[in-house]
Structure formats: structure tokens, C-alpha cells
């Protein structure tokens, strides 16, 4: 029969603290790998109603794990959108690059933070 040592009070507390610290750092790493970017988007004038969720979802194409949320509508063609979804940053860049290829979009400008990261990747 195999016997395993029992943890006394202090050892058990230390082990629990080490485990919670390891889990906390993994959670922090997972949280930092999340895309949350504000985008200024200019649409073509022929887009009928950019406020609908169906339209915003259609802009994402095959990036179904991402979401676009309307933050501000300056006029019928100038929007401020929030892009959220799983990271890391290069995946966010891929989604933004695909948005730029959409025929209904004239321009996409990311928030300063993402733009600075993007310059570092180019």
C-alpha cells in the first residue's frame, strides 16, 4: 500500500497560495489575449441602415467569434465601432484587414493603441 504524506496546516496554506497564484497568472495572460479595439469606419453611401446587428455581423464575414458593437453614428456613413473577440493582437489585425477589404467600407482606422502595435508588426 502506498502512503502519501499529509499536508499540515502551514504547508496546505502555502500550497493553496501557490496554486491560486499560478491560476491567477494564467487568467491574467488569458485576459490580455483579448481583442477590444475601437474603430472609426467610413461606409459607402449605398449602405441602407448601418445600425442593424445583422449588417454589423455581416461585416465580420467568417470571423464569427468576433463582435462589432455600434458606439456612435456620426451620420449614415461614419461610425465608431467596438471590435471584441479572442486575441492575440495579430488576430485582431487580421479581422481589421478583412474589414478593409469589404466593398461596403471605404476606410477603417483603429484606436491609437492598436495602430501603434500594428506599426511595430509591419
Reported as a single tens digit per residue, the pLDDT across 3-25 is 555 555 555 454 444 444 544 44
**How high is the pLDDT of residue 64?**
94
**Cα(122)–Cα(107) distance, integer angstroms:** 19
User: What's the grid cell of residue 5?
Assistant: 504524506
Hey, what domains does the chain have and what are their CATH numbers?
1-32 (no CATH), 33-121 (3.30.70.260)
Reported as a single tens digit per residue, the pLDDT across 30-52 is 445 899 999 999 999 999 888 88
Better-predicted residue by pLDDT, 28 or 84? 84
State whether the Cα torsion 38-43-49-55 is positive or negative. negative
Reported as a single tens digit per residue, the pLDDT across 67-122 is 999 999 988 789 999 999 998 889 999 999 999 999 999 999 998 655 555 455 54
Amino acid at each position: 500500500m502506498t502512503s502519501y504524506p499529509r499536508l499540515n496546516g502551514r504547508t496546505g496554506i502555502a500550497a493553496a497560495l501557490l496554486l491560486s497564484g499560478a491560476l491567477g497568472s494564467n487568467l491574467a495572460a488569458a485576459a490580455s489575449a483579448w481583442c477590444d479595439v475601437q474603430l472609426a469606419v467610413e461606409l459607402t453611401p449605398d449602405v441602407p441602415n448601418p445600425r442593424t446587428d445583422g449588417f454589423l455581423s455581416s461585416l465580420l464575414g467568417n470571423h464569427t467569434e468576433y463582435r462589432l458593437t455600434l458606439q456612435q453614428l456620426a451620420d449614415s456613413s461614419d461610425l465608431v465601432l467596438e471590435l471584441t473577440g479572442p486575441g492575440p493582437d495579430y488576430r485582431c489585425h487580421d479581422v481589421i484587414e478583412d474589414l478593409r477589404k469589404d466593398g461596403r467600407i471605404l476606410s477603417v482606422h483603429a484606436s491609437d493603441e492598436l495602430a501603434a502595435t500594428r506599426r511595430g508588426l509591419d
